[in-house]
Homo-oligomer: A and B are copies of this chain.
C-alpha cells in the first residue's frame, strides 16, 4: 500500500510537472471564426489551470492537420465536411463515429460537435422573403424577377450554384459580385438573393433569412475539436464541455461582434464562456497589439536566429577560405546557387527535412542570408592594402593575430554592409515563412492577401518595414561601437 501511494505521488507529480512545463498547443486556421474557436478552447483550458500556447493562423487545412499528426500542435477546431473531403478524401458522408474510426490511426480523435453548421447558405432579406413567400431554396424556382448575385467562387464551384441550380431546378439569371459588397447591396435592396456562409456575422447584423436547404444539397460542416489522443484526460473532459453549446445564431453573433463590433477574438470568446458559466470574466486588451507584438517577436526570432547563424557561418567561412581564391569562389557560387531557388520552392524543399514551422523557415532564411555576408567579407579581406599585411607579418603577428587585429577591423565596414543587407532582405523574406506555419509578420500579410484585407496586410507590412528601419538604426549603433575609430575621426573632420 505504501509502495502504491508513493507511485501515485510520483505520477501526480509527473503529470503536474508535465502540465506546468509542456503547455497545450492550441491552433487555429487563418480566418476569423477559426480564431474565435481557437480562443474558446484555449481559454476554457486556461480556466482549468492548463498552460496554453496559441499557434493561431496556420495556413490551411493541410498544415493544421499535419502539425496535429506530427504532434507539433495538440488541438484545433475543424469542420466535419473538411475532414471528410480534404483530410480523409471520402466520397460519402460519414458519421462522427466513422470519422473518428478512420482518423484514429494518426493518433487523432474528434470530440463532439460544438453544435453549429458552417456551410453554404442562400439568403434573402426578411422583407424579400415575406413579399415573395420564400422559405426553401426550391421556392426560388417559382419566384420571378429576383436579382440573384453570387460570389465568384460560389458561382464557379460545382458544389456551389451550378449543382444547386441543377438540384432544385433553378433557372434564375445570376451575376457575380465581391462577397463583401453583396451584403451591402442586399441590405440596400439593390439585389434580392445571395450566397453566404451560414455563420457569417452579417446574417445577424442585417437580419437576413436563410432559405432552407430541404433537399440537403449543401454538405454538413459541423465544427468539432480535433485533438491528439494523448491529450491528458482532464483536458479532454474540459473540452467536452463545449459539446452542443454553440448554435448557428450564436456563432453568427460572435462573428458579428468581431467584424462589426470591432472586438477582439479573445474578448468575444471570453464573453461567451462567461455567459455559459464556463469561465471567469477576464480583462482582455485590444487584440491587435498583442497579436502585433507576438508576430513581431516571432519575426525577430526567425530573422534573428537565421541572421546570427549566417553571420557566424558566413564570417568564419570567409576567414577560413579567403586566402584560397578557388575555395572562395566555390563558396560564393554555392551560396549564389541557393539564391536562385525561389523562396517558396526552398521553403517547400525544407519540409521533408525539417517539417513545418520555425525550423525550416530559419534554415531557409539562413541560406538566403549567406551570400551578401560571404561576398562582402571575402571581397573586403582580399582587397586590403597589402603593405599593412606585410607590416603585420614583419612585426611577428601570427595568422590568427593578423585576422584579429588587421584583417577583421579593416574589413569591418564592408562586412557590416553585407550583414545589414542580409538582415533587411531576411526581414522581407521572412514574411513568406507564414506559408509553412512559422508565424511572424507574414501571418497577417498572407491572411490579408488571401482575404484581400488591406488592413490586415498593413498589420504585417508596416511592422516589417519598421523592423527594417529599427534594424538599420541598431546596426548604426553597433557600427558606432565597433568600427575602427579612425573612420569616425574622418567623419567628424
- List the B residue with the shortest CB-CB distance to A176: B89
Q: Is the CB of A333 within 8 A of B469?
A: yes
A283 on interface, CB distance cutoff 8 Å: no
Assuming A340-B465, A487-B383, is B163 touching A375 (CB within 8 A)?
A: no
Q: Is the CB of B152 within 8 A of A158?
A: no
Assuming A375-B421, A424-B339, is B325 touching A491 (CB within 8 A)?
A: yes
Q: Is the CB of A379 within 8 A of B417?
A: yes
- Give the residue of B333, B379, B429, B491 whose beta carbon is less than 8 angstroms from that of A414: B379
**Could you say which residues of chain B place their CB within 8 Å of the CB of A425?**
339, 371, 425
Contacts of A380-414 to chain B: CB distance below 8 A: 380, 382-383, 386, 413-414
Contacts of A240-269 to chain B: CB distance below 8 A: none
- Give the residue of B340, B386, B421, B493 whose beta carbon is less than 8 angstroms from that of A431: B340
Distance of A478 Cα from B29 Cα, bound (Å): 51
Q: Is the CB of A420 within 8 A of B375?
A: yes
Assuming A89-B152, A171-B92, A386-B490, is B376 touching A414 (CB within 8 A)?
A: yes
B-contacting 9-mer, from A96-104, A192-200, A287-295, A341-349: A341-349
Q: Is the CB of A163 within 8 A of B163?
A: yes
A472 on interface, CB distance cutoff 8 Å: yes
Q: Is the CB of B92 within 8 A of A337?
A: no
| Chain A 131-175: CB-based contact to B (< 8 A → 1; otherwise 0) | 000000000000000000000100111111111011100010111
**Could you say which residues of chain B place their CB within 8 Å of the CB of A427?**
339-340
Tell me, rounded to whole Å, the shortest Cβ–Cβ distance linking A64 to chain B. 17
Residues of A near any B CB (own CB < 8 A): 85-86, 89, 91-92, 152, 155-163, 165-167, 171, 173-176, 325, 329, 332-333, 336-337, 339-345, 348, 371-372, 375-376, 379-380, 382-383, 386, 413-414, 416-418, 420-421, 424-425, 427-429, 431-432, 442, 445, 449, 457, 461, 464-465, 467-469, 472, 476, 487, 490-491, 493
